[in-house]
Amino acid sequence: MNDDLLTKFRKAPRPEFAASLYQRINKPMKTKSKYMTLRFASLTLSLFAVLTATLLFSPTVRALADTIIGQFSAYIFVQGTPVPVQQDVAEKKKSEVQSEPNKDVAYSFAPDAAAASQLAGFTVLTPGYVPEGFIPSSIDNVTGGWRITSKWGGEAALVNFDNPVDNSYLIIEELKIGQDHPITVERPEIVAVTVRGLPGAWLPDGNDGKSVLVWDENGITYSVISNKLPLEELQKIAESLGR
């Protein structure tokens, strides 16, 4: 067996396939026009105006909106009781986020933020501050670096740290959602906070034992997640991103 044997199995795509694929990617381009774009933009603006007016003048809708404290590009956090998670499942989830990524989730590895940015398609921000005792996690025999994975039609960049002394973990997720809708998550407590001068939310201990600091910045949803760090530490980490 040599290299020729490996390359000789290449073959041209069927002409019918090439033609039908071309038709599929070409059709929307033929129908898309400046007029259509303008019409779509005016429709979006009209809908936005109606929604804004409804929120301003309808007490019922305003009351409903008040129950939704944290709304971000990728998540909508609603105050409520999360569905209880069985103890063994919760333990499994903890161990997955702490050291081993979910085996069902495929990811690409990037050694640094520059490579991660290229893979993710947006500028990935590295934390300038990590609390004492935290070291880069080892995942799939690779220590440190970023994992890039597809999430809800977009791309997510994750970096993990472990503190072996008190068995705590720290995860920073930077997510640019794609065409999918944001996911709604119930949390027992949602605290409105300011992060990097922007509106954010702190979600203290849920039934999975982790707390999350989340905010939107330049179209990216950032989450700083830990099972033991207090809000002040999560804030310091958030403030240090990219600085």
Partner 1 sequence: MTTQSIKTFFSRAIATGVDFEELYQTELPRVYNFFRYRVGDNQFAEDLTAETFEKAWRNREHYRNDIAAFSTWLFTIARRVAQDYYRKHRHNEIPLDEISKISANELTEDTFQQNADFAQLSVLLVRLADRERELVALKYGAGLTNRAIAHLSGLTESNVGVILYRTIQTLRSEWENDYER
SS3 category, 15: helix
Contact pick of 80, 82, 111, 230 for partner 1 (by CB under 8 A): 111
Q: Which is nearer to partner 1, 18 or 68 (CB)?
A: 18
* Rounded Cα distance, 196 and 208, in Å: 26
- Specify burial of residue 90 (Cβ count, 10 A radius: 0-12, 13-18, 19+): middle
β-pairing, 183-187 vs 75-79, is parallel
Q: Does 33 bind partner 1 (CB under 8 A)?
A: no
Q: Does 230 bind partner 1 (CB under 8 A)?
A: no
Torsion of CA 81, 85, 86, 90, to 10 degrees: -130
Q: Does 13 bind partner 1 (CB under 8 A)?
A: yes
Q: How far is the CB of 1 from partner 1 (least distance, A)?
A: 4
DSSP state for residue 33 in the 8-state scheme: -
Q: How far is the CB of 10 from partner 1 (least distance, A)?
A: 5
Using the rule CB under 8 A, give the single segment among 79-87, 105-113, 185-193, 226-234 that binds partner 1.
Answer: 105-113
Q: Does 83 bind partner 1 (CB under 8 A)?
A: no
Q: Does 80 bind partner 1 (CB under 8 A)?
A: no
Q: Does 106 bind partner 1 (CB under 8 A)?
A: yes
Q: How many CB atoms lie within 10 A of CB 175?
A: 25
75 in Cβ contact with 214 (< 8 Å): yes
Q: Which is nearer to partner 1, 17 or 48 (CB)?
A: 17
- Applying CB under 8 A, what is the total number of residues that bind partner 1? 37
Backbone angles phi, psi at 147, to 5 degrees: -110, 135
Q: Which is nearer to partner 1, 4 or 132 (CB)?
A: 4
DSSP state for residue 44 in the 8-state scheme: H
In the complex, which residues of this chain contact partner 1 (CB under 8 A)? 1-3, 5-14, 17-19, 21-22, 24-26, 28-29, 104-111, 115, 119, 121, 145, 149-150
